[in-house]
Chains A and B, each alone.
Chain A
Amino acid sequence: MKQPDTKADTVQDRAAQETDCTQDTMSKSAVKISSDLLSNPLCEQDPSFLEMVMAFDTAMKRMDSFNQEKVNQIQKTVIEPLKKFSSVFPSLNMAVKRREQTLQDYKRLQSKVEKYEEKERTGPVLAKLHQAREELRPVKEDFEAKNKQLLEEMPKFYSSRIDYFKPSFESLVRAQVVYYTEMHKIFGDLTAQIDRPGLSDEQRERENEAKLSELRALSIVADD
């Protein structure tokens, strides 16, 4: 019988990584970008810059709260069920071990019976044979029962995972869709407010380069 508990770990890893750690810290570091800028005295100097940074900061903070919601939702609907599913494995493994033990006993007693069966049929041998058979019977039945049970239940359990995880996957997807929809809206609005949305990347790069050239032309800026 294969050892099924390894799969549970990899699944747990994957889901955990999906939700907490990096995505959360990424959201937090995004908020840091805007809030640090907001607290810089540069904003006091220039009111239009302040306005822009404030709008930016608001957007980032809202995104962070949505991220938190998403994380919580995923915790409830993906991580928790996953943990529950994994919790079956220790019991399952124990059951498998016990079957194994019973199998060993069964084999041992079986060989003992066979040993006596092969011997010459004298009185004491027969008595011992009978006793051995008596010992064997319950163990054999025990093993067969355990075996049957595991053969029935394990596949049931294993195949239940598909249906079991369906809601988790749906939930994972939905949570992300909700999050990114919000993100799209928030930053779409922000861009409309502070920028000209229609610019292409090349145009932006050119604008940046133009400003940089302007700076380079100044004498106070050292030439490389």
Chain B
Amino acid sequence: MASTHGAEPEADDAAKPEEAIYEEVISCEKMELSQRLAVKELITTEASYVHNIQLCVSDIRAHLQKKELPDLDLEGLFSNTDDILHVSRRFLKRLEATATQEHEQLLCISNLFQEFKEEMETVYKIYCASYEHALLLVESYRKDPRLQEEILETLKATVPHTGASDLSFFLVMPVQRVTKYPLLLGKILENTPTSASAYPALQAAVHAMAQVNANINEYKRRREVATKYNKAEHLTLRDRFARLNTHSIAKKTTRLSRLLMHEAGIVAKTEDKEYDDLEEKFQCVVSSVAMLKENVASYLGHLEALLVPTPHKHELQINEGPAQQYRCFAEHLHCTVLPEFKQRLDRLVCQPLCSLSDMLVGPQQLVKKRLDKLLDYEEMQERKSEMGSVTYDEEAAMNTYLAINALLVAELPQFNQVALQLLRQMLCSFSILQRDLAAQVLHQAEKDLQMPHGHMPLPSFWKMVEDTLRQSGTQIRTFCQVFETVTPSPVAQPLNPAEERKVLSLVSKHGPDKLYQVTSNISGSKDLDLTLQRGQIVALLQSVDTKGNTSRWLVDAGGPRGFVPAGKLQPYCPVQSQQPGMQIPTLETSTERRRHSYAIPEAPRPQVATFTPAFQVVAGFSFTARSPQEVSLQAGQQVVVLEPHDKKGSKEWSLVEVNGQRGYVPSSYLMTIPVQEPAGWSLPV
């Protein structure tokens, strides 16, 4: 209720005081009436509005939804009308409740608007921003006869009383309503005397709703600009060429020249520190997201590589003890623990990272576009200052720049902040994933593995392992030696006495250096060819045959003489003590040895003795020393015989020096071999 006080015009005749007062009273009453009507209008229109929105949501939309028409984009048409409905319903309830407040009603209404303004702005801006799009949809459906039919049918079924032939009848209502609020409030305000107690509050409410509308418009504009420019364009070269025309070329040229002028310092760049800081931070976000994505992908790649070979499939054929346990453990890791880790990593880090990376595109495009538009803007600024005004298009272009700039300045801070928070969350997830992986591996190890020395303190454990390995290393070396000393059967088979005698006669006839042993059976084919067995000894007479062929030699086989292929002969040396083909690392008893060795009879010795010491003593076989008096030999090593007998005079052992060491070795292990041709040897034939 408004008070009856009002500003009275002073310059009235005292003669018409009653008229003036009467008029005043009437105008006051009129005002009050108008005010009350305006308030009523507010409430009743709100009620019918809510009712209509209700119809829209529950009846029309639901009806269309039931039809399940795939071509019908209900989301695009109706947007967030259900949210609008919720807000408006609550608002209406409260609005109707103010009627009981009587004197305080206007104040309550003003406060109500203040309370709801933010919510309204949030809900309506979304709707208004997509309203254009909804209209486009309606238009396109109108052109499709089948859909249009469906829509009409629905409208007839649900809201026949409205006689609406189009969805837009309903869709426009929220847009209209929100713009109506300031007008309705304004009407109440104009019918309220300025002295009224609720006047300031009302005024504030009017401004608030006007501001809401302004914000909605701004949001809508930014949304449009954003949607226009935030998509990355994937144009082919052809498309790009198609876009070229004089206008676009001119535009781009202007921009380029402006850019160059900036770089050259001819023209001052528009400095906008606030924006520049934001952009810089944004670029940091871009680069770190890209890098993180790459690194995480690489990490994941290595993890997958680790999963590929299946170690538990490889057999050492040890089916017990630590090896078996380990195999079990490795299997569990590969089949359970690691795949789970990979999955979690994917869900908690990789996927969000990819999504974030995709979202970077929009802002990047806008940043680029902003720069382009800035160049245009500066251009036009100049022109404006020169010519006083610009064309409509140019004005629009300038506004576009301002819109993009405002948009980026408004939204980049939030973008940067949220992106950073997301990065933090991902790092935290990564950390916890590593911890959990470790925990699971340890848990699995506890289940699968009972290592005998599991609780030994670490240094002593490693020492124990080291010592054990050293011992087994020695054992391995022993095995190696064992297998190596299974020496090849000497081609020099032990000669039977007859053969031995033959050898001696050959030696006496031709000299020891002319002896050759047959390495494999020879079957003579030609006239003068000999047939010989492997192992037989012959003496070389001529190393070339009658035709000059050097691979066919004339030999004396201790009786018959003939030709044999040179390739089947190898030099033979008569040894002082010849060893049999059997070698065992354990020292044979000398009696055994004597059984197989053939002592060269004394008789030919004088002749043999003239083979003066162009001989060398070498170790025929490897021997491992088993006491400090003995010394180890390697087969083929040169030794110096110090004494060919031991301290007791036994000829079985010889004192030798080898490798700088002295010690006894079995004499039978020594071989004497000719070193070079004894010079000037001759033997009476």
CB of B100 to closest CB in A, whole Å: 39
A95 near B483 with CB under 8 A, answer: yes
Chain B residue numbers with a CB within 8 Å of A166 are 321-322, 468
Chain B residue numbers with a CB within 8 Å of A142 are 489, 580-582
Name B445's closest neighbour in chain A (CB-CB).
A177
CB of B282 to closest CB in A, whole Å: 10
Chain A residue numbers with a CB within 8 Å of B464 are 167
Starting from the known contacts A201-B344, A218-B415, 6 additional A-B residue pairs (CB-CB under 8 Å) come to A13-B314, A26-B306, A42-B420, A94-B484, A135-B535, A142-B489
Interface residue? A87 (CB, 8 A): yes
A32 near B295 with CB under 8 A, answer: yes
Chain A residue numbers with a CB within 8 Å of B227 are 219, 222-223
Chain A residue numbers with a CB within 8 Å of B615 are none
B285 near A42 with CB under 8 A, answer: yes
Chain A residue numbers with a CB within 8 Å of B427 are 37, 52-53, 56, 194
Chain B residue numbers with a CB within 8 Å of A85 are 476
Contact partner of B429 (CB less than 8 A), chosen from A92, A131, A204, is A204
Name B487's closest neighbour in chain A (CB-CB).
A98
B408 near A220 with CB under 8 A, answer: yes
Give chain B's interface secondary structure class: helix
Known A94-B483, A194-B428, A197-B432; contact A205-B347, beta-carbon cutoff 8 A: yes
Within 8 A of A (CB), among B279-311: 281, 284-285, 287-288, 291-292, 295-296, 298-299, 302-303, 305-306, 309, 311
Interface residue? B639 (CB, 8 A): no
A29 near B298 with CB under 8 A, answer: yes
Chain A residue numbers with a CB within 8 Å of B415 are 215, 218, 220-221
Interface residue? A125 (CB, 8 A): no
Known A73-B462, A169-B323; contact A221-B489, beta-carbon cutoff 8 A: no
Contact partner of A84 (CB less than 8 A), chosen from B352, B362, B476, is B476
Name A44's closest neighbour in chain B (CB-CB).
B284
Docked pose: A40 CA to B426 CA in angstroms: 16
| A-B contacts, 19 listed (Cβ < 8 Å) | A42-B284, A77-B462, A81-B469, A84-B476, A91-B483, A157-B479, A160-B479, A162-B321, A167-B465, A170-B453, A184-B439, A190-B435, A207-B425, A208-B422, A212-B359, A214-B418, A216-B359, A219-B222, A221-B363
Interface residue? A88 (CB, 8 A): yes
Interface residue? B475 (CB, 8 A): yes
Known A32-B298, A142-B489; contact A194-B431, beta-carbon cutoff 8 A: yes
Interface residue? B665 (CB, 8 A): no
Docked pose: A194 CA to B372 CA in angstroms: 42
The 4 closest A-B pairs by CB, nearest first: A187-B435, A184-B438, A222-B362, A195-B428
B425 near A211 with CB under 8 A, answer: yes
Name A219's closest neighbour in chain B (CB-CB).
B226
CB of A64 to closest CB in B, whole Å: 12
Docked pose: A32 CA to B405 CA in angstroms: 37
Q: How large is the interface on B (under 10, 10 to 19, 20 to 34, 35 or more residues)?
A: 35 or more
Chain A residue numbers with a CB within 8 Å of B219 are 219
CB of A129 to closest CB in B, whole Å: 13
Interface residue? A114 (CB, 8 A): no
A187 near B483 with CB under 8 A, answer: no
Give chain A's interface secondary structure class: helix
Total chain A interface residues with beta-carbon distance under 8 A = 107
Docked pose: A18 CA to B421 CA in angstroms: 37
Interface residue? B507 (CB, 8 A): no
B468 near A167 with CB under 8 A, answer: yes
Known A40-B287, A219-B226, A222-B231; contact A131-B451, beta-carbon cutoff 8 A: no
Chain B residue numbers with a CB within 8 Å of A205 are 347-348
Name B360's closest neighbour in chain A (CB-CB).
A221
Name A12's closest neighbour in chain B (CB-CB).
B314
A220 near B306 with CB under 8 A, answer: no
Docked pose: A13 CA to B313 CA in angstroms: 12
CB of B230 to closest CB in A, whole Å: 4
CB of A41 to closest CB in B, whole Å: 5
A221 near B323 with CB under 8 A, answer: no
* Per-position 1/0 for B311-352, Cβ under 8 A of A: 100111110111101100100000000000000100110001
Interface residue? B494 (CB, 8 A): yes
Known A45-B281, A170-B322; contact A146-B431, beta-carbon cutoff 8 A: no
Chain B residue numbers with a CB within 8 Å of A126 are none
Interface residue? A117 (CB, 8 A): no
Docked pose: A81 CA to B522 CA in angstroms: 49
CB of A107 to closest CB in B, whole Å: 13
A153 near B479 with CB under 8 A, answer: yes
Within 8 A of A (CB), among B404-434: 407-408, 411-412, 414-415, 418-432, 434
Interface residue? A165 (CB, 8 A): yes
